[in-house]
Amino acid sequence: MRYLAIYLILLTHISMGQFQGQPFIDNYAPEQYQGGMQNWWIIQDSLGNIYSANNRGVLRYDGTSWSLIDFALGKKTRSLDISKDGLIYVGGENELGYLKADESGALYYHSLIDLLAEEYRSFEDVWRVLCLGDDVYFQTFSEVFHYSGDSVKSIKHQSNLSFGFKFGGTIGVGDYDQGLLYYVNGEWLQIPGGGFFKNKEISSVIWNNSGWLVAAVDDGLYQLGTDGTLNRWGEEVAKLDRFTKDYLLRLTNENIALATRNNGLIILDPSGNMIAHFTKERGLNSQAVLNIYEDREGNLWCGLNDGLSKIELAGSFSHLSEEIGIQGAGYNVFVDDNKLYLCARNGLFLIDQSDSKVISAELVGTETGQTFGVNKIGNDLLLAAHSGAYRVEDDNGLSQLSDKDGWWGFLPIPDREDLVVAGTYDGLYLMSKQSASSQNITKIHGFDESSRLMVFENQQTIWVSHGYKGAFRLTLSKDFRTVINSEHYGSENGFPSNTNINVFELLDHILFTSSQGIFTYNTQLKKIVPFKPLDELLLDNTVYDMSADSFGNVYFIGKNEVGVLRRSFDGAFSKDVSIFEGIRPLLNDDFPLVRVVDDHNVIFGAKEGFIHFDPTSLELEVEPIKTYMTSLSSSLKSDSLKLETFYFVDHPDEQIELPYAERSMRVSFSAPHFTNPVEYSTQMEGLDNNQWTEWSNQTFREFSSLMEGSYRFSVKAKTSTNRVSEPVTIVINIAPPWYRSVPFLIAVGLFLFGLLVIFFVNQRRKYKNEREGMMITQQKELSRKDSLLEEISSKSQLEIQRLENEKSVIALEHKSRELASSTMNLLKKNETMKKIMSDLKSLKTDLENSSGPSKAIARIIKNIDRSMNSDQDWDTFQMYFDEVHGDFSRKLRDAYPQITPTELKLCTFIRLNMSSKDIANLLNVSIRSVETNRYRFRKKLNLDHDTNLTSFIMEL
């Protein structure tokens, strides 16, 4: 009874949302799931995965991808069931067993054949697997095997059976010889009233309305009471007798689904009335439905003779299209007296639910081509079509009111039920009822533009929008026959451009859509201004059509988005587009249409017919979706499958150990949800800065070249209805590379330690040897250094002597310079004195007549003469000269004792290589006197005539 209340609400959709169409059907061909064509049985596990017993094995579908689990070396599978501990038991061609996850989580088949006695091992196909508590029953057409504990035993042997079924807390079978039997306490007993079904092929037995509903494949449906009473079931049983009845399924909403072998799938209410019929013409992949299963979201899965089909019985969307009789694209809808009129490309169609629960559409009248609008004016239902204007008659026929081409629709004039304005390809027309069978149609003069969308501002003012010319505000005359004033509004006065301007009366306002935002007309300012409540939400979307429900929610179709602006209690709007993403590619992009019929019916125009949306289905509480990991595989090794689904089920925080070589990986995940699109968000702690990624429909996450360490990978899922699953997490531990592993590091450490020991031993030995060698070397070095020091000392003494000699030379050169300077001073002084003395002598001669001055001058001359002949300057000169010339004067006197002072001076000046003139000046004598003294001195020295006096003296 889980979620029974929810599905009881779903049951009422047909009455509340009576125009709900054909549910969306997804077909899966063998080429898509890569398996065999026939699918004999369908189940769903606790995670939501769908399993199908396929000709080539067991198919598994996680909502994202299909996988095929090989069954006993390619044998066909016929039946499946899940035990209370989650094991999937399988029956097939001469095979029975179960699927079990290995250590990595990958499912593999485990056969139970070896537990059977040899005599029972040839039994052909297992057509039913029935799990009840700890017991599992495998049923063939001749045997029923019971598996419990570690044994498989036959409990019905060599019988003539049809199909088995669950009967209360035990199992039952159809036996051609005994009728309906059930198994209890080791015995097979006949079900009360079951003898009626001898020699009948029984496909299903289910509980229904305090009794058992029995499907005889070729003999109809029967209601079998617990007291054995038996009745044909349902008002429409007669219609069903011609169909083979392969399987019955009681749906959670109490309806009955019947799979037929030759006429698709039939849905019956609890009383047996047909409420839906799905065939190959109505969306299935095949007429032969072998098995049916209702998943936890209310979707009905059909195992077909050719593929699989999923019918979204509980989905929010359904088709009103060719499957129910509507042909061509959908343009407009109108509801009148519980009847839905649908304007389509190939005519006007009608859905009338008052006399049948099976939705079906019929063509109104004959084909009229494109139909664009229906409206009721008084008691008349008018149709606007490309081929003219029509009235819909009571018998659903059409009578033409005008054969003029190009009618868009009709709009009643406010407070004038007898008058209506019609929009056409070439302007506006006034229509007034002339009689019960005719309308007076008159052209409204003064406006000739195409007028598909119209809204009255007041009785005399009407707005008309044009696809690429903007909007027109027209003022009508009192009799409504003439446009007396026309105001154009386009890019020059309020709108972003002249294109895509559409006018609507919505939320008690006249609203205009545009290429950028929503606008309204401000009657006080008399200008077009943005409509702020909606403008910001739709600013970046070119909106083509809008419609609002009684709660103020605004449905819209735009260029980039289809959605609803939901109005909260404070009047603010929020945008929701996710749930409509799936239908957006199906919608009519020629004349986009969305119409709110009532709170349970929203109709979209589609490329093929219409799409129905029931908003109340989103408000139902449903079971939360679950997310899980499907696999973790190394990107370096494409066949290195590490993890599978079940690995994460019982251990959501399981730690996965991976070698460093497989640090590049792909983690795949899924949330089995089959009604609405699913998006995923992931987080890798330590890599994503603890932030969840943006929502995406990608079902895997790849990582490359991760460093060693521990990582926590989490994923969560969200449906388009904003249902978010709880995150699931795995811990991935990546081992360091071998060269950074602990054993390797220990080995390296020991190796390095050994090397250090060897190194230190060698170093110690080497140090000892080097120390001994150093002592010998030091002795030699000391001896060498002593010798070197002695050598250096000797060299130092020589260097000192050399330096002293250089010092003496320098001092001698200095004294020579002083001597030369002194000599020059003497020369200059004597010259000066001589000049002064000469001048004074001349002056004396001039003054001889005066005795006083003459005497004074004489004294001066005498003093100067005395000064010139003073020996003081000579003594100073002689001292410097002897220092420079090695005590020349003493040596000369020692060699020639008879030398006179004058001769000594002469020799001194000659030694200085002075000329006779210079010598004469210094001695204050004449040059001749100097030459005479030179001559005399040569004779005193007994010098030869050839010996040069100067050279002789220089050599002394």
Using one digit for the tens of pLDDT, what is the confidence trace for 694-751? 999 898 999 888 888 889 899 999 887 778 888 988 888 888 888 887 888 888 888 8
Answer yes or no: are the C-beta atoms of 175 and 119 closer than 8 Å. Answer: no
pLDDT grade for 33, boundaries at 50, 70 and 90: very high
Question: d(Cα 806, Cα 546) in Å, to the nearest integer?
Answer: 120
pLDDT score of 763 more than 80: yes
Answer yes or no: are the C-beta atoms of 663 and 734 closer than 8 Å. Answer: yes
Q: pLDDT > 70: what percent of the chain? A: 87
Which DSSP state fits 253? T
Residue 811: its H or E element: helix 742-846
Average pLDDT over residues 831-841: 71
Answer yes or no: are the C-beta atoms of 36 and 59 closer than 8 Å. Answer: no
Q: What angle do CA 931, 932, 934 make, to 5 degrees?
A: 65
Q: For the chain, what is the largest distance between any 2 Cα atoms, rounded to a whole number of angstroms?
A: 203
Sign of CA dihedral 616, 617, 618, 623: positive
Answer yes or no: are the C-beta atoms of 24 and 315 closer than 8 Å. Answer: yes
Residue 746: predicted pLDDT: 87
Q: pLDDT tens across 483-494, in order?
A: 999 999 999 888
CA trace torsion 188, 194, 200, 205 (10° rounding)? -80
pLDDT score of 873 more than 80: no
pLDDT score of 2 more than 50: no
Least reliable range by pLDDT among 24-28, 87-91, 457-461, 677-681: 677-681
Residue 213: predicted pLDDT: 94
Least reliable range by pLDDT among 584-588, 797-801, 808-812: 808-812
Q: What angle do CA 732, 738, 742 make, to 5 degrees?
A: 80
pLDDT grade for 6, boundaries at 50, 70 and 90: very low
Answer yes or no: are the C-beta atoms of 288 and 278 closer than 8 Å. Answer: no
Question: d(Cα 92, Cα 127) in Å, to the nearest integer?
Answer: 7
Residue 318: its H or E element: strand 317-320
- Which tokens in the block code for residue 398? 């059409």
pLDDT score of 770 more than 50: yes
Average pLDDT over residues 900-908: 80
Residue 467: predicted pLDDT: 86
Mean per-residue pLDDT over the chain, rounded? 85
Cα radius of gyration rounded to whole Å, the chain: 63
Residue 814: predicted pLDDT: 60
Residue 827: predicted pLDDT: 55
pLDDT score of 858 more than 90: no
Q: pLDDT tens across 49-90, in order?
A: 999 999 999 999 988 889 999 877 788 999 999 999 889 999
pLDDT grade for 643, boundaries at 50, 70 and 90: very low
Give whole-number Cα distances, 679 to 127, 580, 672, 676, 703, in Å: 38, 14, 11, 10, 20
Question: d(Cα 873, Cα 747) in Å, to the nearest integer?
Answer: 103
- Which tokens in the block code for residue 363? 């063509």
Sign of CA dihedral 876, 877, 881, 884: positive
Residue 636: predicted pLDDT: 54
- Which tokens in the block code for residue 145? 């095997």
| Predicted structure pTM score | 0.72
pLDDT score of 473 more than 50: yes
SS (HEC) of 643-663: CCHHHHCCCCCCEEEECHHHC
Q: Between 241 and 261, whose confidence is greater?
A: 261
pLDDT grade for 414, boundaries at 50, 70 and 90: very high
Q: Between 347 and 797, whose confidence is greater?
A: 347
* 19 half-sphere exposure, CB direction, 13 A CA radius: 32
Residue 695 burial by Cβ neighbours in a 10 Å radius (0-12, 13-18, 19+): middle
Assign 3-state DSSP to the chain and report helix, strand, coil percentages, each to 5.
Answer: 25, 40, 35
pLDDT grade for 877, boundaries at 50, 70 and 90: confident
Count of other CB atoms within 10 angstroms of residue 733: 12
- Which tokens in the block code for residue 509? 């306002």
Pairing of the two strands 655-658 and 728-734: parallel
Residue 646: predicted pLDDT: 38
